[in-house]
Structures are given as C-alpha cells and as structure tokens.
C-alpha cells in the first residue's frame, strides 16, 4: 500500500504571468486532501481572445475532486489571484480564507454574483494558523504592491512548505507590513521542505526599491505643477494612492478619486483599518466648484483600459471634469507588456489637449511590487529550503529562477501548469501530468479555449465572412438564384463589379450545370459552393474568406 505524500499542482500561473491557481495536497495517492491557493483571472486581448470578458483556469481536475478540497486561500487581492473566486465558487463550494483586506474585497465579489458572503473567513496573520484536515496553514505578511499580501506557511506531516504569493523585500512599504527577515528566519529555523516562489522579476539584476523612495519625488513634482494635476496608478496599490493623495494635499489641492475600482479599494482599506490617515476626498460633483488649479485627480486606467477614468479623461469630459492645456498627467505605473499601444494612445490624446504627460521616468515615480533577482536570492538564503519551486512567471522566468536555485545547491525544477509534483522526498518529482488549460467567460457563458468559437471569430476578423444561401425545391432543383451575404470584405474586386454580384453569378452558373447527384447531396453541394466562393473571392480581391453555406430544401 502506498504511503502518504505531499503534492503540488499549478493549474494556472506557472508558465505565464496571470491566472494564478495552485493546489497542494497531502494524503495517499489519489486520496489527498487538497487546498487551493488563489483563483485568479487573466485578461483577454484582441490577438488571441477577441470578445472574451475574462480568462480563468480550467478547473476540471479540481471539480472532479470537489470533496477532497478543504479550502481556498487567497494570498492577496490582485485580480490575477482573486478574480476567479466568485466565478468558480459555484463549482467548488469550498470555504475561502484570506486576511481582512483581501476578505473584504472577496466578499464584495461574492455578493455581486449572489454567493454567500459567509463562505469567506477572515484569518489573522502569522503566527495564527488555521487547521484544515492534514494541513496547518498560516498566512505570513509579505510586502507587495497591495496591502496584506500573505505568504502561506503550510505544514503537513511531510514538512513545511512556504508559498510566497507575490512579494518584494520592502523595509518600508508605507501601507501594510514591512518585510520581516527575523520572522522568516524564525519560520524557517526548523527546516523548510519546499519554497514555492514568485519569479516575476528574476531577470532584474539590481535589488528592488522601496515604496518609500517615491513620496519625496512625487511631492516635488506635484508641488511644481500649475493647472490641474491628475495621476493614475493601480487602484489596488493603496500605498501609492496615498502617496499621490498626500502629495496633492501638501500642494493645497483637493483630492478626487475617479473610477469605481479606486473608490472601492480605498473604501475597503479604510473599512479594514489598513488605511488610517488618508486625506479628505471630494466627489467629481464637488470638484466642479473648486478652481481647477486646486485639484488633484487620482484615476483608474493606468494600463490604458478603454472604459477607465484615464481613457475617458483623455477622450473628453469625465463626470464633468476636463483636462486642458497646461495640466499635468502622471503615470505612476509601469506598462504591462502588451498594453503599450493602449497606453501610448492615451498619452498622445492627452498631448493633443496640451497636457504634459509624465511617465515613471525610469523609476522616479514608480517601483515594482516584485522581488528582483538579488532579492530572490536573499529570500532563498533566509528560508534555506530543501527544494525551491519557481512559480508566478513565464517559462523563461521559471527556468532562470530554477537555475539560480540549482546553482546554490537547492533542488529545483521548472514546473508548469498541469505538472503534478511529489514534494515528499529530497527533490521534486513529477508524479503525473494533469490536463489543464483556460476557460473563457464570454458574455454570460463559460466556453473552453479549444471550443473553436474564438478561432472562428479570429478567422472572420482576418478573412471576412460570406454566407451563401441556396434553396432547392421538392425535386432538388434550385428555387431562384443563390445569394450571398458578404461582411468585412471590400465591395469591389478586380473586375470592378460588386463582389457579391460576381459571386452570385458564379454560384448560379454552377447550380445550373450541376447534376442531380450533386444537387441531392448536401455535403457535395456545400463543398462545391464553398470552394467556388473561396476561389472567386480569391481571384477578385486576393483573400480567402470564411464561408458558411446554407442549403435549404423545400420538402
């Protein structure tokens, strides 16, 4: 009979940045009791997921083991860690655990989707622990770009695992707890079986910088501005929002928070006591009565999101506020790869209005929330784990991080989504490969990444769409002529006649000549009509369109 084992299985977040979802298990093979760490989303883009609303991990494996799940722990409230919780709750129905600020935001999400808010339990920070089945789990404070980020300290009979969540080594994060090397040394002192560790910034060669390096520069910048000042950052970066607000207040400006997420985050931070001395804020309506030179707007949309406050201000008025020549707009943020075009578009719209755009100026007005290469090594040195498993990174990050660990004598492995690892021994061992993937929230429906629906959308976008309709009478003879609906394609082709006319003529020619055998056979008829449509379109306009053929028989 097989013995108990400790397993680790990433379902999202390992081999990508985003959509974090990790599973730990302890027990006899196949009978493990499970805990889930984070259930995040990732965001769609036009290139690969047009029209999709959200991307979530495929949790089929978990759903099939629903009864084995002890609970879901959320390390922090960034969307790539918390975003799928309420969407997937109905399938897992497992209790959710998080620290107060994260739990507050999680309950809001649960409520929005009609799930019970008391499924969310607030836990206190380490050294308090939660016992669930074979697990004893503590949430130990880690500094990050959001309050109350927590690393999990997971104890089982197979030893201690530290799952870092997202972190940086910030001695003074301004809001929330600093990184505490003594606490971590204490946690690690009896040995750590496995450190499962954030890899995002592994390629950054210098030690990371503290949030506390920014207020002086930001205050100086805002103090030197005339006109209206606006600034954007991630709403969840409560410390940064506070720094911006403080800078505004110090410059004698009234602070206005714009955007739903911005207001919700600050509200949650105040409600949970994370944020105590935030400047008085004014509503957009109140701002109308304040001279614009005395305003400091703090807005959502630092990544160029089209519906966020920043994009709306760049386009024109937003809630009665408008930017003008001589105003200043600060991007206190870094652009996430892939969002450059959207952000640059907004910067140019602002430039057209005469607004001076200030970006992070190579770090003067922004610091990262993740540990850099040397910081990762410092944590390795404090924790001294038997094995180090890199997570929260693309393949190249995981690979580099694993190299780093191996070079220092730790066991390590590049573990990507779907690799079920046995962490019980001296080194991580692959125990199984689990089918994983992505599912999409599309409107109100969940679809699979491989359902072909998105592929069809992409093809229509690249090639246009032609629908050919043919009606046949009771004797399988064409009833009238075929007709085409052409969408997303040029009207005129090389014959200088309407493409649709040429298509209909070619299709009609074919139908008139087609034998009874072809006309009777749906598949044959459709294949021929499709082939002719593609060929004629290619001749006329040099493109091979997507073609739907509808054969309707009057029987």
Q: Which residues bind a second copy (CB under 8 A)?
A: 15, 45-47, 50-51, 337-338, 340-341, 344, 347-348, 350-352, 357, 394-396, 399, 442-445, 447, 451, 453-454, 456-458, 460-465, 467, 469, 471, 479-480, 483, 485, 487-490, 492-494, 538, 541-543, 546, 548, 550, 552, 554
Task: Say how many CA atoms lie within 13 Å of 203 toward its Cβ.
Answer: 8
CB 308 within 8 A of CB 299: yes
CB of 75 to a second copy, least distance (A): 24
In sequence order, what are the beta bridge partners of 485?
467
CB of 462 to a second copy, least distance (A): 4
Q: Is the CB of 149 or the CB of 349 nearer to a second copy?
A: 349
Q: Residue 408: count other Cβ atoms within 10 Å of its Cβ.
A: 13
Q: Is the CB of 124 or the CB of 552 nearer to a second copy?
A: 552
Whole-angstrom distance, CA of residue 32 vs CA of residue 299:
46
Report the DSSP pairing between strands 5-12 and 21-27: antiparallel
CB of 515 to a second copy, least distance (A): 25
In 274-342 the beta strands, taken as DSSP E runs, fall at 281-282, 295-299, 328-331
CB of 3 to a second copy, least distance (A): 33
Q: Is the CB of 67 or the CB of 523 nearer to a second copy?
A: 523
CB of 245 to a second copy, least distance (A): 26
In sequence order, what are the beta bridge partners of 498?
492
Contacts of 510 (CB under 8 A, 6+ apart): 528, 529, 532
Q: What's phi and psi for 212, nearest 5 deg?
A: -75, -5
CB of 19 to a second copy, least distance (A): 15
Structure tokens of 51?
């029209």
CA 33 to chain centre: 28
What SS3 state is found at 43?
A: coil
CA of 527: how far to CAs of 146, 468, 483, 512, in Å?
A: 57, 12, 16, 16
CB 210 within 8 A of CB 238: no
CA of 282: how far to CAs of 69, 249, 254, 464, in Å?
A: 45, 12, 7, 49
Q: Is the CB of 74 or the CB of 355 nearer to a second copy?
A: 355
Q: Residue 456: count other Cβ atoms within 10 Å of its Cβ.
A: 13
CB of 292 to a second copy, least distance (A): 21
Q: Is the CB of 248 or the CB of 493 nearer to a second copy?
A: 493
CB of 419 to a second copy, least distance (A): 13
Q: Is the CB of 516 or the CB of 554 nearer to a second copy?
A: 554
Q: Tell whether omega for the bond before 406 is within 30 degrees of 0, i.e. cis.
A: no
Whole-angstrom distance, CA of residue 504 vs CA of residue 101:
63
CB of 394 to a second copy, least distance (A): 5
Check residue 535 and report its DSSP letter: H
Check residue 178 and report its DSSP letter: P
Whole-angstrom distance, CA of residue 544 vs CA of residue 530:
11
Whole-angstrom distance, CA of residue 504 vs CA of residue 551:
15
CB of 416 to a second copy, least distance (A): 9
Q: Is the CB of 137 or the CB of 484 nearer to a second copy?
A: 484
Q: Is the CB of 381 or the CB of 539 nearer to a second copy?
A: 539
Q: Is the CB of 46 or the CB of 157 nearer to a second copy?
A: 46
Q: Is the CB of 1 or the CB of 445 nearer to a second copy?
A: 445
CB of 457 to a second copy, least distance (A): 4
Whole-angstrom distance, CA of residue 389 vs CA of residue 391:
6
Contacts of 224 (CB under 8 A, 6+ apart): none
CB of 552 to a second copy, least distance (A): 7
Q: Is the CB of 15 or the CB of 165 nearer to a second copy?
A: 15
Q: Is the CB of 213 or the CB of 485 nearer to a second copy?
A: 485
CB 167 within 8 A of CB 144: yes
Whole-angstrom distance, CA of residue 217 vs CA of residue 358:
12
Q: Is the CB of 18 or the CB of 71 nearer to a second copy?
A: 18
CB of 159 to a second copy, least distance (A): 30
In sequence order, what are the beta bridge partners of 6?
26
């Amino acid at each position: 009979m097989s013995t108990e084992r400790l397993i680790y299985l990433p379902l999202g977040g390992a081999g990508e940045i985003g959509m974090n979802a990790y599973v730990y298990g302890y027990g006899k093979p196949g009978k493990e009791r499970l805990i889930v760490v984070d259930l995040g989303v990732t965001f769609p883009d036009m290139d690969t997921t047009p029209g999709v609303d959200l991307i979530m991990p495929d949790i089929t494996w978990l759903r099939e083991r629903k009864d084995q799940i002890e609970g879901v722990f959320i390390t922090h409230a960034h969307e790539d860690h918390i975003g799928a919780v309420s969407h997937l709750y109905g399938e897992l129905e497992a209790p959710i655990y998080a620290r107060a600020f994260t739990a507050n935001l999680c309950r809001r999400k649960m409520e929005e989707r009609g799930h019970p808010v008391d499924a969310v339990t607030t836990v206190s920070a380490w050294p308090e622990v939660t016992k669930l089945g074979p697990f004893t789990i503590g949430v130990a404070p880690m500094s990050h770009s959001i309050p109350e980020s927590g690393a999990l300290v997971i104890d089982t009979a197979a030893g201690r695992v530290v799952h870092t969540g997202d972190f940086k080594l910030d001695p003074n994060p301004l809001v929330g707890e600093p990184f505490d090397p003594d606490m971590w040394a204490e946690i690690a002192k009896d040995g750590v079986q496995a450190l499962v560790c954030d890899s995002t910034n592994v390629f950054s060669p210098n030690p990371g910088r503290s949030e506390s390096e920014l207020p002086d520069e930001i205050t100086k910048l805002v103090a030197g501005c005339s006109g209206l000042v606006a600034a954007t950052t991630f709403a969840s970066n409560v410390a940064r929002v506070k720094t911006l607000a403080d800078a505004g207040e110090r410059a004698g400006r009234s602070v206005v928070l714009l955007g739903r997420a911005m207001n919700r985050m600050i509200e949650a931070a105040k409600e949970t006591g994370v944020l105590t001395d935030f400047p008085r804020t004014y509503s957009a309506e109140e701002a109308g009565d304040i001279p614009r030179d005395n305003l400091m707007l703090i807005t959502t949309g630092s990544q160029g999101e089209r519906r966020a406050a920043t994009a709306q201000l760049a386009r024109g008025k937003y809630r009665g506020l408008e930017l003008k020549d001589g105003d200043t707009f600060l991007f206190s943020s870094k652009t996430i790869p892939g969002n450059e075009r959207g952000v640059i578009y907004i910067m140019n719209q602002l430039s057209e209005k005469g607004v001076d755009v200030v970006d992070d100026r190579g770090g003067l007005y922004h610091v990262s929330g993740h540990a850099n290469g040397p910081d990762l090594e410092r944590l390795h040195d404090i924790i001294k784990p038997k094995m180090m498993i890199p997570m929260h990174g693309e393949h190249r990050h995981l690979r580099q991080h694993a190299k780093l660990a191996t070079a220092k004598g730790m066991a390590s492995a590049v573990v990507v989504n779907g690799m079920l690892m046995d962490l019980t021994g001296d080194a991580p061992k692959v125990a199984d490969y689990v089918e994983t993937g992505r599912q999409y929230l599309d409107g109100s429906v969940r679809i699979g990444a491989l359902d072909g629906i998105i592929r069809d959308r992409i093809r229509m976008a690249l090639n246009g769409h032609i629908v050919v309709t043919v009606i046949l009478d009771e004797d399988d003879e064409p009833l009238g002529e075929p007709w085409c609906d052409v969408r997303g394609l040029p009207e005129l082709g090389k014959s200088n006649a309407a493409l649709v006319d040429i298509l209909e003529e070619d299709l009609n020619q074919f139908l008139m000549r087609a034998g009874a055998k072809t006309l009777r056979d749906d598949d044959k008829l459709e294949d021929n009509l499709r082939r002719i449509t593609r060929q004629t379109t290619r001749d006329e306009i040099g493109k091979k369109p997507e073609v739907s053929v509808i054969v309707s028989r009057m029987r």
